[in-house]
Amino acid sequence: MTHFKIPIITLLLLFIGTNISFSQSNWEPQTNITGYVSTEVNYFDDLEGYDINYSAAVSEAGILISYQPKSNFRIKGVFVYRPGFQFDQMLNEAFGELTFSEGAKFKAGRFLLPMSPSNTFYYAPVNTSATLPILVTNHEFYPVTIDGASLNGSFGSGLKFNYNLFAGGYKNSTWLRTGAIRFFGDEVNYLKRQIGSPATIHPSYNETYNFGFGGRLGLSYKTNIDVGFSAFRQNDEQVPILATIAPGQTIKVERLFEKFSYGVNVKLKYNNTKIIGEYWTADLKSDGSNVDLEGSFVELSHRINKVTPYVRYEDQITDDIDYQRYTAGLNYKPSFRKAFKVEYMRYEHSSGDINGFVGTLIYSF
């Protein structure tokens, strides 16, 4: 099946779901339209190869439209403008979901992958921090979205078991550059250049399409505890590699990648204090040779009225690159419509440390 068939299957499933849902009565159709604009200021010290070390820009501008014609069926679409992204990369969600019961919901279309709770908070207004964890923004373990189908649900009240199983196709999105300076997502490539790494992924990789399947199993207790295990298996694929054969001479070659990613996540919340963390690893082989790929983070936040201070530690290993990032910031949310975030971050790597500052102003409507 090619990815061109995905929209046709999606429309068929939406048509079937709509017909089933219209058999109900005593329901008023509900429409919801919301959106936001996020402006961002970046500053980094001494980034080699970058023309500027500070900049301000509109980092995101999103609109969400949902329509629920019946109580058991909804349609949702989310489009988020990001500078430098193609249209297909900005269409984050476009799906229909049919609810049979709380334990069985069927979704078809394009949707955010549910394996990581952090990935489902992909939009600026719903994040505590001004920046997402590296393992989410680098997209090395799983893509942001998928075009396919999902079966999900939950059982229980206070103590809940939840599951989400999915399969479909996706456009590769590894190391997409974001932010006002467009450094976020480029960290691995940047550090590879710093150490003169002999190989890196060629940019044309993000023009390719692949298929995969996976899911998440979770257990939660009210809003206080949530733990989960997730796994993602993608089809083996030929990946274009930019390889250095001599000083100043590079060639493009293809290598067979086999990858199976899996991870665990934990959330602990007590009153206004919250700790979240994730650990991901991958069984990755390049032409049969093992490649290191690991990522983790832990974040602590505590809300005091309208102000939430937070700190986060991250560790990321990608092949010959091993680095850490430390983040500390404040989130000030005076109302539903407005949010201000400022944070300091520090990357630590053997080639040299990088200090950065991020400030965001978010207006929601």
Distance CA 317, CA 184 (A): 16
pLDDT above 90 (res 354): yes
Rounded Cα distance, 343 and 222, in Å: 30
Given a contact cutoff of 8 angstroms between Cβ atoms, the answer to whether 353 and 195 are in contact is: no
Mean pLDDT of the chain, nearest integer = 92
Give the pLDDT confidence of 178-227 residue by residue, as tens digits.
999 999 999 999 999 999 999 999 999 999 999 999 999 999 999 999 99
Number of domains in the chain: 1
Q: What is the CA radius of gyration of the chain?
A: 21
Indicate if the pLDDT at residue 7 is higher than 70: no
DSSP assignments along 316-330, one per residue: EEETTEEEEEEEEEE
Query: In this structure, what token pair is assigned to residue 99?
Result: 């609810």
* Percent above pLDDT 90 for the chain: 87
- What is the pairing mode between strands 273-286 and 54-70? unpaired
Q: Which residue has the tokens 């978010």?
A: 362
pLDDT digits (tens, 9 = 90+) for 227-283: 999 999 999 999 999 998 888 889 999 999 999 999 999 999 999 999 999 999 999
Tens of pLDDT, residues 83-92: 989 999 999 9
The reported pLDDT for the residue numbered 246 is: 84
What CATH number does residue 280 fall under?
Answer: 2.40.160.10
Which is nearest to 141 in space by CA: 110, 172, 166, 167?
Answer: 172
Q: Place 10 in a pLDDT band, splitting at 50, 70 and 90.
A: low
Residue 14 has pLDDT above 70, yes or no: no
How high is the pLDDT of residue 1?
44
Q: Does pLDDT of 8 surpass 80?
A: no
Percentage, residues of the chain above pLDDT 70: 93
Q: Which two tokens stand for residue 12?
A: 């068929």
Residues 21-46 have pLDDT tens digits of 444 568 899 999 999 999 999 999 98
Q: How would residue 19 be classed by pLDDT, with cut points 50, 70 and 90?
A: low
What single string gives the DSSP state of each residue in 209-249? EEEEEEEEEEEEETTTEEEEEEEEEEPPEEEEEEEEEETTE
What is the rounded CA–CA span in Å between residue 336 and residue 19?
Answer: 36
**How far, rounded to the nearest angstrom, does the alpha carbon of residue 118 sit from its chain's CA centroid?**
7
pLDDT digits (tens, 9 = 90+) for 295-322: 999 999 999 999 999 999 999 999 999 9
| Sign of the dihedral defined by the CA atoms of residues 101, 106, 110, 116, in that order | positive
Average pLDDT over residues 147-174: 97
Is residue 2 scored above 50 in pLDDT?
no
Read off the pLDDT of each residue in 76-97 and give the average, rounded to a whole number.
95
Domain assignment of residue 28, given as a range: 3-364
